[in-house]
Amino acid sequence: MMEEEGEPLTGGDGLTGGDGLTGAGVILIPKLPHVEFSLECRDLIGSGRDRKPNALVQVAVIDPREQYLVSHACTEIVEGSRDPLFLTGVTFPPEYPASPETLVKLTVYDVRDKARDNSSFLGSATFSVSDLLRSKDDQLTLNLRSSDGVLAVGTVLVSRVNMGEMEEGDVDHITADVQQAQKCTLVCESSQATPNDKDNSPLTGAVFKNPVCKVYKFQTVDSKWMLVREQMEECTLSFSIPRQLLHLYIQEDMRRIQELRDLGELSPHWDNLRKEVIGRYGQVIAAYQETLAELNKITGPSFKPSCSKAQRYLEFIPINLHTQRMRVTCPRQTDAFYDVITVGAPAAHFQGFKGGGLQRLLSRHEAEKKSFSTAYQCIYYSPEHTAKAQEVLHSVGHLQPLISGLADQLLQAAQQHSMAGLREALKTLAGKTEQFVHALKDELVKSALLALHAAQPSYVTKNQNQTLPGHQGHSHQDHPSPSQRGQQGQSPPQNPGHSPGQPSATDSPVVVCNNVDGGSQTAPIREDGQTPLKRQDSIPCHKEYDEEEWDRVWADVAKSLNCVIAMVDKLQEQEPISNNQEQPIPKQVLADVITSHNPEGDWREQLCPLVVRLKECVAEVVVRARRAMTFVLLQEAACSIPQGLFLKQRRDVVFSQALAALACGFVMRLYAGMEDKGFLRQLHLVGLVAQFESLLSTYSEEIGMLEDMEVGISDLHRVAFKITQAKTDDPCDLQPVVIGRREHYTVEVPLPRLAFQMLPHEIKEGKALQVYPVLFNVGINEQQTIADRFGDISLQERINQRNFEILDSYYKSLSDKVPSECLPCFQTRTDLKDLLGTLGQNVVTKKRKNVEILWLAGTICRRLNGIRFTSCKSAKDRTSMSVTLEQCALLRDEHQLNKDYFIRALDCMRSRLTQGEVVCQWDSDPEAACSVAENKPASRHFYPIALLLVSSHLLVVWLILSLVFLLAKYQ
């Protein structure tokens, strides 16, 4: 599908493009175009006797019924040849309203001056579609006639192209004309692939659609033909994933508001903070709902063009996300596939980068939060403690219904007198209850309960009444809300460690209770090894609050479970008829509970009181833990207003774009590897590496983009994938589904029943499949030249070093669990360990524009069965330059591409659109549009000009700095 606003499908210099999001489809059911043909002219007569023409063929269609001429296609310009062989072919896709009676007019021009668009008419010829379909050997030879229709100015050869298969005779036959002319490629461009494409599968239309295909023939070193097909498609996940995430964001924030309201009555100070936080959450929810409503109105192409990156309602949508697949068919060799996903850098383009990106903003905000917590009379909680609070909330909310359901299953098994069912249900119940208890085994829960107690009106009133005469204490009612304090510019109190109702640092130390036997000890060391709250940041216990109450409630869950276990053991002992003797109760502490039941009665009657008690204990613990953790999050949000929620929105935007790209890549890779047992084994044993290649510069606003991208890619570690069986084979039921919360999302990928049955047992059982995202960045444009000389590239160096360590760790884990036979084979058999060693050396080497890092990272990713991504600002020029260069390098290294064809193949793949399509297809980039019209890559003339401009600017900057230095020196 072509764009209507002006951006390439695969990038500026890439495959045919437009502002639409199209990419290489993975699993398709392609349709055969009605007609595809290539063009070649012979014996052309130019306008001058001694001058060879610069030939170009304009293709137009004449509908015999309507009798009007419509421009359809245009070839590239072949300079200085009387026998030009055109690389660009012509296609009529099935959707095109052509019939056998449709007439095709070929008009040949001699382009004298490309810059001025000065061309002269040479000749024309006309044929019908039926003529070509009925022609012998699928070829037509037509005479080119002058404007008066009298003189013959040469001939044009129309050859129908069938890219579906390569005949053995075609493999060995290379004409002398081709070898002597331009040694060029036969190119056919179509909007659909051929019917015998090996990508056929029932999995079509669900995730990938609107395929665009370009096909080439290149010569190998042994004078054979190789067939290369580039196929691109739109990805429906560009909008589907962000819509689902917005739903989840809204639901999560609405739950948080309800949890805040469930805290009950608070002192005026804390109640004001709560109202402020709820108001901020309400604003975020309203904005997200408005965005979601606008997204639901959008129909049409499944992509966001770069010209829309500053639109508010599209900020959650990735830019130019599309997939590409290069399929290579060589004589007597197995077909090879090379996949890549191209996408604009995941970043908050609408919000801008004046203050930097997420990485810088989050670091700055975390440093400021400590002073905010003092100013707003809150307790400072580190990001680790906040994450722990969210984890506890999720765990108790998730485990409580599971425990309740398993308890009911236990009673049902008891009613049926099924000892096997009883034991199975008890085993699962015990496991989930142990998880539940373990989730609460943290000092944070207890300290939060103390803090919540101190924030209640009864405690505040009592504390104020006990204030000594003459003591100028602060009343909680007098504290302004965070927004009010920010407006008034009040300075924080002098005692930075003092919180509402918190004694001074001279009071007794924090009391840590033992969660096993209810005892206490004065020790700051946590049993689970986590860092405890700092003494000045914690609220000590107060005499009027029974701190052991939480320990008793928490321990009652384990005691209740032990009662259930003991009763099941007793019922099992009573099961044999011959054994009527009662065995002593295993634990004396349970005797008073168990002996009160009739041992000879119904099993359900004996278990029911114990199970009910267990459920009641769990419910009571959930209520207390939820309120305590919600109070922690209230303080964290209060300390963060308003910057914290703004940063959360920015992080949501960036993560949405990153997850849409990752889900697209995962589905693409999964579809491609459905029959690869080694890949599936690697998938469930270790997971997949997802390598993001970034070409952003460390200069100006692209620094902010890179900082956003770094956080967004890092947040993808919170994502897991799960394969499910689709309800039906309908495309709507094959759409991936996102579930979870901000701290952990799961993307469920449904497969049809037959495809699902092919998977390993572990995957079918619902095992979470991990993805390990890594990001490598090397700036390559002229702005990076300025950054290398005068700027700071430490951000790029840190990103590359950190992600190399992740990649190296993944390789070591893979080597321990998966045999090397599971990995793909390549012609260049460089050892993976050596490649990683070379990459590590390049990462630490101080070298400007070290693109070797990107080459090595991409190669390692392909060797590891990974998912490849390439990004720049908008997934246009730099992205496509990288992708096409990588493709040609693969053809050279893996498929013996003739060295004389390398540059020609690169030019073919980087050719964009024909002159007739430039105006409506491209962004406002005159240099790019000019290069398109000439069918040449923009870099051929744009980059030298750009470098010249940069050099002149650098000279001016140097002169200005020198002048300033001299003036300062003499003053």
What pLDDT is stored for residue 638 in this prediction?
82
Contact between residue 302 and residue 234 where contact means Cβ atoms under 8 Å apart: yes
- Return d(Cα 459, Cα 710) in angstroms, integer: 45
Closest-CA residue to 323 (of 95, 91, 711, 15)? 15
What pLDDT is stored for residue 374 in this prediction?
66
Question: What single letter denotes the amino acid at residue 626?
Answer: R
Contact between residue 144 and residue 125 where contact means Cβ atoms under 8 Å apart: yes
Classified as helix, coil or strand, 52 is: coil
What pLDDT is stored for residue 760 in this prediction?
93
Mind listing the domains of the chain with CATH numbers? 36-160 (2.60.40.150), 203-232 (no CATH)
Phi, psi for residue 567 in degrees, rounded to 5: -65, -40
Using one digit for the tens of pLDDT, what is the confidence trace for 381-427? 888 888 888 888 888 888 889 988 888 888 888 888 888 888 888 88
b/e string for 754-786 if b means 16 or more Cβ within 10 A?
ebbeebeeebbeebebbbbbbbbbbbbbbbbbb
Handedness of CA 151, 154, 155, 156 (dihedral sign): negative
The residues near 594 (Cβ < 8 Å, ≥ 6 apart) are 563, 566, 567, 570, 585
Q: In whole angstroms, what separates CA 272 from the centre of its chain?
A: 39
State the angle between helix axes of 782-790 and 942-970 in degrees (0 to 180), rounded to the nearest 10.
Answer: 30
The residues near 328 (Cβ < 8 Å, ≥ 6 apart) are 226, 227, 228, 335, 336, 337, 338, 890, 891, 894, 895
Phi, psi for residue 324 in degrees, rounded to 5: -135, 140
- Return d(Cα 209, Cα 188) in angstroms, integer: 20
What pLDDT is stored for residue 153 in this prediction?
85
Q: Does the N-terminal peptide bond of residue 760 adopt cis geometry, omega within 30 degrees of 0? A: no
Classified as helix, coil or strand, 840 is: helix
What pLDDT is stored for residue 958 in this prediction?
62
- Return d(Cα 392, Cα 400) in angstroms, integer: 12
What pLDDT is stored for residue 575 in this prediction?
62
Question: What single letter denotes the amino acid at residue 820?
Answer: S
* Residues of the chain falling short of pLDDT 50: 1-32, 164, 166-200, 467-544, 577-601, 912-950
Separation in Å, CA 935 to CA 63, 172, 573, 940: 28, 30, 86, 11
What pLDDT is stored for residue 162 in this prediction?
65
Closest-CA residue to 400 (of 435, 452, 424)? 435
Closest-CA residue to 640 (of 369, 388, 378)? 369
Q: In whole angstroms, what separates CA 591 from the centre of its chain?
A: 57
Closest-CA residue to 500 (of 465, 463, 446)? 463
Residue 610 token pair: 């114990």
Q: Exposed (0-12), middle (13-18) or buried (19+): which is 257, by Cβ within 10 Å?
A: middle
What pLDDT is stored for residue 419 in this prediction?
84
Q: Provide the annotated active-site residues.
A: 872
- Return d(Cα 21, Cα 11) in angstroms, integer: 10
Separation in Å, CA 968 to CA 380, 780, 956: 47, 36, 18
Classified as helix, coil or strand, 191 is: coil
Global pTM value: 0.76
What pLDDT is stored for residue 459 in this prediction?
66
- Return d(Cα 555, Cα 557) in angstroms, integer: 5
Residue 212 token pair: 């665009």
